[in-house]
Amino acid sequence: RTRRGDLNTDLRLGLSIVSPDAQKDNWIGPSVSKQREQRQDWPPIKSLLRTTLAVAGKADTNVHNVHNNDNSDRRRTSLFVKVYMEGVPIGRKLDLLTLHNYDDLISTLAHMFTTSITCPNGDRADHAKSLHVLTYEDREGDWMMVGDVPWEMFMTTVKRLKITRADRC
């Protein structure tokens, strides 16, 4: 669950060491503005609302049709993704909306598949102890390691999950 070492900490550090004069300028420089969407600490809303809105905003295009009167205003009530474990032909399904963060995801999957999975924010030294690592297919069809992007962002780009053998990565 720790956010140390991820993009957001870097973003905060970048702003905090800036001198007072520089802070008076437009604080969002061009290189920072893209990362702004990932900011976990602004605007000041609590995590439950933050997660709900992030998913509603990206995953369901209907929200942007809020001003349309036509057809269904149905919202996603769940976010089921398929999960496969390498070597096992039959997959499982998991509702991501019941989880809060990567730790929840890892422990739920470890439970579901009765194995040990590397925690994405843990030491790479632990890598050796776990049998598996967790990967996902994103909206662009690429297979990525789980854990690099903020949780809310992950939820909006993940299409399916795969538990791969650790010695393969």
Residues that bind other proteins (CB under 8 A): 1-4, 8-9, 12-13, 15-17, 20, 23-24, 26-27, 36-37, 39-50, 52-54, 56-57, 63-64, 66-67, 73-77, 97-100, 104, 107-108, 111
The least CB distance from residue 85 to other proteins, in Å, is 18
Is 154 in a helix, a strand, or coil?
A: helix
The least CB distance from residue 169 to other proteins, in Å, is 26
Residue in 141, 126, 127, 129 with CA at minimum distance from that of residue 169: 127
The least CB distance from residue 11 to other proteins, in Å, is 11
How far apart (Å, rounded) are the C-alpha atoms in residues 151 and 38? 10
Instruction: Tell the residue number behind the tokens 């096992």, with chain if given.
Output: 88
Exposed (0-12), middle (13-18) or buried (19+): which is 155, by Cβ within 10 Å?
A: buried
Residue 42 or 114 having the CB closest to other proteins = 42
Residue 56 or 166 having the CB closest to other proteins = 56
The least CB distance from residue 133 to other proteins, in Å, is 22
Distance of CA 159 to the CA centre of its chain: 12
